[in-house]
């Protein structure tokens, strides 16, 4: 396995181009299963999860090519069962279920895996499929959905932690080929859902309301091929913005969408960080000393759970007390013990982490437990004195395209090495 060696204390300066959004690209790749015609997806990040999804589509019978940020898929003939070992390793792979059910009226997929950030059940996905008329069975590690016909209906997909992004995407894809009208209430409002709807509409679907809590899908008999460009990754943009603030540098985020980052920008302003639009870019720099800030993660357009760990790393540097509350995933504080190795003072009380900031961080070996925890440890390592070794960086390669190369372009002293 590989790790990052980071010699901290260097302010980041320069420009970084924001890659396409992984969380948009994966469902869009899955949506190509809804048609037998060729589809072209551009601005796709070069990530292990994307390559993994390509392998899943190939296993299902599609012809897939991934080259220079462009994915081409043609799924002329496909089968309705995903490979157990492939699907169980990546949570995002569950999004093949909706397209398979929509096109073939049957799907058999292994229960998905992913990061260790707490239980992420798929009960809302299955609730939506059942509302469309599918019969659901779960046995031997597989979930199976089958229907003689899919019929549109009105359904409520709200859960304990709010709406479900992948569940909304999955049901929306299945409903494009259902008979009649489907209405999803308490639908996820994330930009990635809007991007998927845009691609599906380009394929001939009839979807309205994406980006609001009510999405309406009028079923069509078939979909055709289409071309699409994936939106920029708002989580990657937020991570580089926080890294710039943590190192007291100035970084231009090329292609970042400010309209997707309102909650993050608001909290950065509160913490003493300037974020200014410059054409189609965002420029991030500190305005002086960092200030403590309280953060609560919420469904979009609230503060994203995928930026919680990075924001916590920043707050360890801000004098005073910050309270960071996690409302989406119950086990998303696994980075706390690793930040403590670097000298952070953090206590967990229920769903909240109390950060006593302002103490200097010092480099140490740390272990990445999941994708966003990895990013938080990299941010902390960039700001710490001395050398930080972040182990198990395969997690970060799932969601950040060439992060070490991009950071070196900004002046960071970071190298990828084999773990000793």
Spot the catalytic one: 39, 95, 115, 189: 115
Handedness of CA 308, 311, 317, 321 (dihedral sign): negative
Picking from 131, 177, 129, 185, the residue whose alpha carbon sits closest to that of residue 153 is 131
Residues in the chain: 420
Residues with Cβ within 8 Å of 31's Cβ and at least 6 positions away in sequence, in order, are 39, 99, 173, 196, 199, 200, 203
Distance CA 168, CA 180 (A): 18
- Catalytic, 39? Answer no
Residue 208, SS3?
Answer: strand
Q: In 10 A of CB 330, how many CB atoms?
A: 14
Percent helix, strand and coil across the chain, each to the nearest 5: 35, 30, 35
Distance CA 101, CA 367 (A): 39
Dihedral over alpha carbons 359, 364, 369, 375 (to 10 degrees) = 60
Contact 190, 160 (CB under 8 A): no
Q: List residues with catalytic annotation.
A: 115
């Amino acid at each position: 396995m590989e790790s990052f060696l980071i010699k901290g204390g260097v302010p980041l300066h320069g420009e970084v181009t924001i890659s396409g959004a992984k969380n948009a690209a994966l469902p869009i790749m899955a949506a190509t299963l809804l048609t037998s015609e060729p589809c072209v997806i551009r601005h796709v990040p070069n990530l292990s999860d994307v390559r993994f999804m390509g392998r899943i589509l190939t296993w299902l019978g599609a012809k897939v090519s991934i080259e220079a940020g462009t994915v081409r898929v043609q799924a002329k003939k496909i089968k309705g069962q995903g490979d157990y070992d492939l699907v169980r390793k990546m949570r995002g792979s569950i999004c093949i279920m909706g397209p398979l059910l929509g096109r073939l009226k049957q799907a058999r997929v292994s229960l998905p895996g992913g990061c260790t950030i707490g239980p992420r059940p798929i009960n809302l996905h299955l609730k939506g499929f059942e509302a469309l008329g599918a019969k659901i069975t779960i046995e031997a590690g597989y979930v199976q959905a089958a229907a003689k016909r899919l019929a549109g209906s009105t359904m409520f997909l709200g859960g304990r932690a709010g709406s479900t992004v992948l569940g909304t995407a999955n049901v929306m894809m299945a409903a494009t080929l259902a008979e009649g009208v489907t209405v999803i209430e308490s639908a996820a409002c994330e930009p990635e859902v809007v991007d998927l709807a845009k691609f599906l509409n380009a394929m001939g679907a009839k979807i309205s309301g994406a980006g609001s809590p009510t999405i309406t899908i009028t079923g069509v008999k078939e979909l055709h091929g289409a071309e699409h460009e994936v939106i920029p990754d708002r989580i990657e943009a937020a991570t580089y913005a926080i890294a710039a603030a943590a190192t007291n540098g100035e970084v231009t985020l090329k292609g970042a969408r400010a309209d997707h980052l309102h909650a993050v920008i608001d909290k950065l302003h509160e913490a003493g960080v300037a974020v200014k639009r410059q054409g189609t870019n965002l420029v991030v720099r500190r305005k002086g000393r960092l200030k403590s800030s309280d953060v609560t993660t919420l469904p979009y357009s609230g503060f994203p759970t995928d930026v919680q760990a990075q924001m916590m790393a920043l707050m360890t540097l801000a004098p005073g007390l910050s309270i960071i509350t996690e409302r989406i995933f119950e086990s998303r504080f696994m980075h706390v013990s690793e930040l403590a190795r670097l000298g952070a003072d953090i206590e967990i009380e229920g769903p909240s982490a109390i950060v006593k900031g302002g103490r200097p961080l010092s480099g140490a070996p740390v272990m990445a437990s999941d994708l966003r925890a990895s990013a938080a440890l990299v941010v902390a390592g960039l700001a710490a004195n001395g050398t930080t070794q972040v182990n198990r960086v395969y997690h970060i390669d799932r969601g950040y395209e060439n992060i070490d190369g991009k950071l070196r372009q900004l002046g960071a002293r970071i190298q990828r090495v084999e773990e000793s």
